[in-house]
Each structure stands twice: as C-alpha cells, then as structure tokens.
C-alpha cells in the first residue's frame, strides 16, 4: 500500500472573510509497514492533514493517491478507502454511540454488508486485539472506564481490518498506566503488520515508537526523516516551539560538559551509553 500527497493545499471557508489555509503544498509518501509520527505545534496542520488520508476532507488543490488512484475522484469508493485507512480521532471514546460495546464495534463491518457470522467474528477479534474481555461486549460502552471506552472505540476501527491506522493523540488524557497500555497497544498493531500514523505532542512517546517523523510547521512539512535524524536537529525543533525527548536533553547536556556521549533519543540506548560511561568514560580534554 502507498499513500501519496501531491502538492495538497486545504483552505477552510475559501472565498469568505474567514478563509484560512491549514495546509499548503504538502507532498509526501506513506508506505506499508511504517510507524510514522506526525508532530507539530497546535495549528500546524497535523489534524487537517490526517483527515485527508481517508477522504474525510478533500484538498482545495492537489491530489491524494492510494496505490496511484485519486481517492477524491468521482467514482472512487470512499467506503473502500476508509476500510483500508482507519482514522481514530483524539478522545475516540466520544465517538461511541450504540447501546452495547458489541453493537458499536460491529457498526463498521455491518456497513460493509458482511454476514452476521463474519461480523460476530470481527467483533470478537477486535475486542481481543485491544485487550478487552469478551464479557464486556454486551455492556453499555458508557459503563466502562475511560481507558476501556477508548479501547472500545479503537476496536470499532480495527474491526474494519485497515491496512493503515491513523491515530490522533491516542494517549491524550490517560493516566500514566493507561498511557503505557495505549502505547503498547499501538506497538502491537504495528508488529501485527498495520501501518501506523500517530499524531502526538509527546516527544517521549514519539521517541519510543516512531521509525519516521514528519514535522509540520505553519501548514507545511518542515522536517521528514528517520527519528534519529529529526531529533538531532534540536535547534530547529525549538524554533518551531517543539521539544526533544528527555533522553536527548540528557545526551546534549553531557556532550556540552565534554563527555563522549552519543546523541541518543531512546531510553534503552541511553542506558547502554551511561553504563559504558560509568565504566570509564572521561570528559574530552
């Protein structure tokens, strides 16, 4: 699967006194198997860009291509696009509406015209993948805890068996344990073969998960590359009101003090480097 943006611009309320251009001339390609983080300060265009990925929004100009086909072209099935690319909004639990968890999770598969047996199988599978017990299926989603509600909402998207999952701040508002569980869930989806695009304000979460980082600034792609390369450019990130992971800050501080310390951004790499340093590392002369 390949999702391409070709010079995509989106202007809200075009032609009115309130028109506002959210993204401008964006060109990028997302491929199968990637775990990509989409970051940027508030108002940088991240969520608008994400909503173009499965045709919830159409470009004012430019094209979005899924395997070479314009997803907004007349005659192209938006239902098929949204089956292949699932979008989970921030605070996904607010999307729940059915009287039971099972009915909520079944909503998408039912709209695909699947048999009841297939729908039931997908509900069971999706609940298992998000770590919810089967007995929860017949409960009202509004009886669940906040973390369980979010998992139930994600299960509804997973039940469509998307090839790509776009997650807008999946760990927002969760307590530390809930956050850990949600990040582990995102990692499990990726390990199972689903391409992931994760919007996040947490650089530490991004550092733990992302292989590639796309940085948005004022509606345009400012940086795009492997995580280790993007996090090396701390000065440019700071200029865009973005931070770097705490591990990066530690590494930079040690380097400033003259220690031969790698510019790492993952905790496990920092632990190895610190161990080596404590065994005999010396500041530079």
Residue 204 tokens, joined: 């530490």
Has residue 284 got a pLDDT over 80? no
Q: Walk me through the domains of the chain, giving residue ranges and CATH numbers.
A: 2-244 (3.40.50.300)
pLDDT the model gives residue 197: 98
pLDDT, averaged across the chain: 91
DSSP code string of 63-88: EEEETTEETTSTT--HHHHHHHEEEE
Encode pLDDT of 97-109 as tens digits: 999 999 999 999 9
Residue 42 tokens, joined: 């508030």
Has residue 280 got a pLDDT over 80? no
Encode pLDDT of 199-230 as tens digits: 998 898 999 899 999 999 999 999 999 988 89
Has residue 122 got a pLDDT over 80? yes
Encode pLDDT of 39-83 as tens digits: 999 999 999 999 999 999 999 999 999 999 999 999 999 999 999
Query: pTM to 2 decimals?
Result: 0.89
CA distance 282 to 129: 48
Lowest mean pLDDT of 23-27, 70-74, 106-110, 230-234, name the range. 230-234
Residue 241 tokens, joined: 């009101």
Edge-to-edge, what's the strand order for the sheet holding 220-226? 85-88, 164-168, 195-199, 35-39, 212-217, 220-226
CA distance 162 to 30: 15
Has residue 283 got a pLDDT over 90? no
CA distance 144 to 182: 16
pLDDT the model gives residue 143: 93
Nearest to 39 by CA among 208, 280, 236, 237: 237
pLDDT the model gives residue 105: 97
Three-state SS string over 172-221 comes to: CCCCHHHHHHHHHHHHHHHHCCCEEEEECCCHHHHHHHCCEEEEEECCEE
Residue 70 tokens, joined: 């314009």
Please say whether the dihedral angle defined by the alpha carbons of residues 138, 140, 143 and 149, taken in this order, is positive or negative: positive
Provide the pLDDT confidence category of residue 35 given band limits of 50, 70 and 90: very high
pLDDT the model gives residue 285: 40
Encode pLDDT of 140-196 as tens digits: 999 999 899 999 999 999 999 999 999 999 999 888 898 999 999 999 999 999 999
Residue 151 CB: number of other CB atoms within 10 A? 26
Backbone angles phi, psi at 34, to 5 degrees: -85, 150
Q: Is the pLDDT higher at 151 or at 283?
A: 151
């Amino acid at each position: 699967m390949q999702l391409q943006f070709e010079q995509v611009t989106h202007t809200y309320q075009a032609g009115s006194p309130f028109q506002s251009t959210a993204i401008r001339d964006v060109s990028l390609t997302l491929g199968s198997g990637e775990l990509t983080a989409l970051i940027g300060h508030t108002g940088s265009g991240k969520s608008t860009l994400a909503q173009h990925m499965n045709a919830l929004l159409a470009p004012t100009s430019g094209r979005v291509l899924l395997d070479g086909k314009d997803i907004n072209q007349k005659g192209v099935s938006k239902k098929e696009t949204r089956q292949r690319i699932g979008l989970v909004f921030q605070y996904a639990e607010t999307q729940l509406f059915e009287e039971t968890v099972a009915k909520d999770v079944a909503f998408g598969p039912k709209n695909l015209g699947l048999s009841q047996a297939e729908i039931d199988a997908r509900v069971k599978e999706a609940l298992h993948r998000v770590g919810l017990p089967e007995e929860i299926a017949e409960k009202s989603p509004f009886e669940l805890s906040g973390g369980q509600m979010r998992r139930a909402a994600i299960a509804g998207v997973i039940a469509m068996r998307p090839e790509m999952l776009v997650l807008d701040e999946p760990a927002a508002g969760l307590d530390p344990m809930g956050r850990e569980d949600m990040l582990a869930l995102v990692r499990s989806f990726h390990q199972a073969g689903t391409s992931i695009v994760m919007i996040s304000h947490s650089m530490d979460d991004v550092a733990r998960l992302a292989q590639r980082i796309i940085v948005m600034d004022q509606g345009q792609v400012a940086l795009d590359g492997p995580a280790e390369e993007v996090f090396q450019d701390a000065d440019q990130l700071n200029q865009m009101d973005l931070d770097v992971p705490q591990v990066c800050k530690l590494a930079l501080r040690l380097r400033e003090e003259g220690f031969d310390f790698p510019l790492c951004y993952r905790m496990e790499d920092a632990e190895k480097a610190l161990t080596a340093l404590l065994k005999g590392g010396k500041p530079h002369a």
